[in-house]
């Protein structure tokens, strides 16, 4: 087993006893779209060497192919199952336009979708299964009971939410408590220097009252906060991918790029990259259990995890300076 990075911190996942690395690795966009098994293995090994024990996926990523790649990589790496935390997410579906298997959290879909994910991942269980979005067309009690049953069956150890409102999360917890079911324990929402409202405002009281955690995604705002789009969109970046025109348009926003460049002097002063600075900043919020990073090559993983050396340098004054720079 690799020796964890000396600066890696392991935090409780919300109010549970499960410990997750403060920086983690996810497969959104990259697996299958940008890389196949060999580079995926190299990236996961690089993350693991840095002390990462949390690996995130979703049924919808690359139509299930992302889970399949990660499953084969885990098989080839041969790590003990107890040594890592594996997560996936359900909601969007991968079975065409079938009304019961797409954009839903009904019981039929959830009970069949978890089996499909486990088959692709080549695992008997995931540590956390998330509802990838909320579903206003399915009664909340139906979703909560189905997710609780997945946990009770041993196919997942915990369940969580992704991009749910605080009211929806609170409703789910109340139903679970009232009926003695397994309640959700963590959210997975976007959080970065440009997207702060939900985590810092909407979830504030929820976190204080329940200890609800958050495994946040997009700490670099899809790469924008890395500063790499200052001179245009690199050919090997996700902004250049077919189907990501919405992202390309955002990455070409000259006003946003100019604003982000105000962070460069701070990064230079701390002796780090802008990406490392932005990732490190996300770890400061008390609700954040782990920051999910993404990469298309191992060198990028090592660059991102270099943020571990930056975290101790981020005082309250520097954090405030970063926030002020983007106003």
Active site residues: 61
Cβ partners under 8 Å of residue 232, min gap 6: none
The residue count for the chain = 327
Cβ partners under 8 Å of residue 197, min gap 6: none
Cβ partners under 8 Å of residue 68, min gap 6: 120, 121
User: Is the CB of residue 290 less than 8 Å from the CB of residue 8?
Assistant: no
Between CA 63 and CA 308 the distance in angstroms is 32
Q: Which residues pair with 217 in a beta bridge?
A: 190
DSSP three-state, residue 156: strand
DSSP track, 241-301: STT-HHHHHHHT-HHHHHHHGGGHHHHHHHTS-HHHHHHHHHTTSTTEEEEEE--SSHHHH
Give the CB-side neighbour count of residue 139, counting CA atoms within 13 A.
Answer: 5
Helix (H) / strand (E) element for 147: namely helix 140-152
């Amino acid at each position: 087993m690799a020796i964890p990075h000396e600066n890696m911190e392991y935090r409780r996942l919300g109010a549970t006893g499960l410990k997750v690395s403060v920086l983690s690795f996810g497969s959104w966009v990259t697996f299958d779209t940008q890389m196949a098994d060999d580079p995926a293995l190299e990236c996961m090994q690089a993350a693991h060497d840095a002390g990462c024990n949390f690996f995130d996926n979703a049924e919808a990523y690359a139509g299930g192919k992302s889970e399949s790649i990660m499953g084969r990589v885990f098989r080839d790496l041969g790590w003990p199952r107890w040594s890592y935390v594996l997560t996936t997410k359900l909601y969007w579906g991968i079975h065409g336009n079938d009304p019961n298997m797409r954009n839903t959290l009904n019981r039929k879909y959830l009970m069949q979708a978890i089996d499909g994910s486990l088959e692709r991942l080549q695992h008997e269980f995931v540590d956390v299964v998330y509802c990838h979005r909320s579903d206003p067309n399915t009664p909340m009690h139906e979703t909560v009971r189905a997710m609780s049953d997945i946990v009770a069956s041993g196919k997942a150890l915990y369940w969580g939410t992704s991009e749910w409102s605080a009211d929806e999360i609170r409703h789910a917890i109340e139903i679970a408590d009232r009926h003695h079911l397994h309640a959700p324990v963590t959210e997975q929402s976007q959080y970065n220097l440009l997207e702060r409202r939900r985590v810092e405002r909407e979830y504030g009281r929820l976190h204080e009252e329940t200890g609800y955690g958050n495994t946040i995604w997009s700490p670099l705002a899809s790469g924008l906060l890395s500063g790499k789009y200052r001179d245009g969109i690199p050919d090997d970046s996700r902004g250049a991918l077919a189907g990501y025109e919405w992202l390309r348009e955002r990455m070409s926003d000259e006003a946003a790029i100019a604003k982000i460049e105000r962070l460069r002097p701070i990064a230079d002063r701390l002796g780090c990259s802008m990406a490392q600075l932005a990732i490190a900043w996300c770890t400061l919020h008390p609700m954040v259990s782990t920051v999910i990073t993404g990469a298309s090559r191992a060198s990028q993983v090592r660059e991102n995890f270099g943020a571990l050396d930056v975290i101790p340098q981020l005082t309250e004054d520097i954090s405030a300076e970063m926030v002020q720079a983007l106003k």
